[in-house]
Structure 1
Amino acid sequence: MANYLSISDILVTNEKVPCKFLHDLPKMGFLDPSAADDDLKAGTNVEIPLWLAESLYTRRPPLVGVDLPKIYKETYREILNADACTVDMHKLGQHFYELGCYIAKHDIKGEVATTLVNTFRQRFRMILSASVSTDSISSFQPLSASERDRTAAAVITEAALSGWLKRGDCPITTANMVANHRKRKRAEMEML
């Protein structure tokens, strides 16, 4: 899932997630800004970047347990499932969907993945209708980074399609290969 050279993936994996350390870690007290000791004790809750949490989680035995960030917890999931179109995704998290894909594997119940899909479905309809109509996309709640990219692509595609349809100088015709194939099929049917 990780893309080593992707700037957006680097930004996503740099987001901080809450973690609980499962073992004592000597000389790692600097990870906890409130720690007075050089060592990090088991049971300490700290927010660390996702890339570090993933590497500590995948070790055997795991050194941390990754908790869900607040934007993926029950309260926010209820809001998003009720009406995702009214939520300011830019304020909630610029990389909401991408971070959610990483976090979904730490959700035992699988509710984060379901919420991501439902949220995208609701907001996609809104974005698509705004990009093909005269409505301004700015009249909607601010979008996440991936939604802005998809909206810009939809607007460009719609403009290109409209321009092509208005030109009218290039009517759609049957390809020669298809026409020849039909003639060959007809000839074969007549022989039988």
Structure 2
Amino acid sequence: MSNYLSISDILVSNEKVPCKFLHDLPKMGFLDPSAADDDLKAGTNVEIPLWLAESLQSRRPPLVSVDLPKIYKDAYREILNADACTVDMHKLGQYFYELGCYVAKHDIKGEVAATLENTFKQRFRMLLSASVSTDTLSTMQPLSASERKRAAAAASSENALSAWLQRGDCPLTTANMVANHRKRKRAEMEMF
């Protein structure tokens, strides 16, 4: 799922997620900006980068428990499931889908994955219809990074298709193999 050399994947894994420390950690108080001690006490809630949270959770025994970021909790899920097309995805999270894929494994109920899928389906229809007309793409709610990439690719494909259709120098014709196959099938049918 992760790509070591991908800049966008590096940016996604650097997003901060809320974590609860399960053990006392000496000399790690600098992770909590509100801490007065040099030590980090068990039960402290801190937002740390995703890459650090996953490495601390994968240790035996785990040092942290990862909580869902607020954009994947119930309140936002209800908004996204109701009508995802009206949501400003850039404000919600520039890497909403990518971070959601990472965070989904920390969701016990499995609702994050379902919300990601539903949101993508709703917004994909909107992107697809808007890619045919470039003026509607600019009037849409701001898009996430992956949606901008998909919208640009769809608009490029639409432009290439319309240019090819307008060329007119090579009309579509039936291939000889297909025409011969039809003749052979017709001949076989007439025999019976």
Determine if the TM-score, normalized by the shorter chain, exceeds 0.5: yes
CA distance in 1, matches of 2:145, 2:2: 17
The equivalent of 1:48 in structure 2 is 48
The equivalent of 2:67 in structure 1 is 67
The equivalent of 1:105 in structure 2 is 105
CA apart distance, 1:24: 1.1
Residue 6 of structure 2 aligns with an amino acid whose one-letter code is S
The equivalent of 2:27 in structure 1 is 27
Please tell me whether the aligned partners of residues 134 and 155 of structure 2 are also in contact (alpha carbons under 8 angstroms): no
CA apart distance, 1:177: 6.4
SS at match of 1:136: helix
Residue 92 of structure 1 aligns with an amino acid whose one-letter code is L
CA-to-partner distance for each residue in 1:48-90, whole Å, 9 max, x for gaps? 0000001111111111000010000000000000000000000
Q: Which runs of 5+ in 2 are unaligned?
A: none
The equivalent of 2:83 in structure 1 is 83
The runs of 4+ residues in structure 1 deviating greater than 3 Å are 173-180
Would the alpha carbon gap of residues 168 and 62 (structure 1) be closer, same or farther in structure 2, given more than 3 Å must change? same
CA distance in 1, matches of 2:174, 2:52: 57
The equivalent of 2:37 in structure 1 is 37
CA apart distance, 1:34: 1.0
Deviates more, 1:111-120 or 1:131-140: 131-140
How do 1:108-119 and structure 2 match up within 5 A? Answer: 108-119=108-119
Would the alpha carbon gap of residues 176 and 62 (structure 1) be closer, same or farther in structure 2, given more than 3 Å must change? farther
CA-to-partner distance for each residue in 1:80-112, whole Å, 9 max, x for gaps? 000000000000000000000000000000000
TM-score normalized by the length of structure 1: 0.91
Residue 12 of structure 2 aligns with an amino acid whose one-letter code is V
For the aligned residue pairs, the C-alpha RMSD in angstroms reads: 2.2
CA apart distance, 1:135: 3.7
SS at match of 1:55: helix
CA distance in 2, matches of 1:20, 1:138: 41
Would the alpha carbon gap of residues 179 and 59 (structure 1) be closer, same or farther in structure 2, given more than 3 Å must change? farther
Residue 136 of structure 1 aligns with an amino acid whose one-letter code is T
CA apart distance, 1:170: 1.4
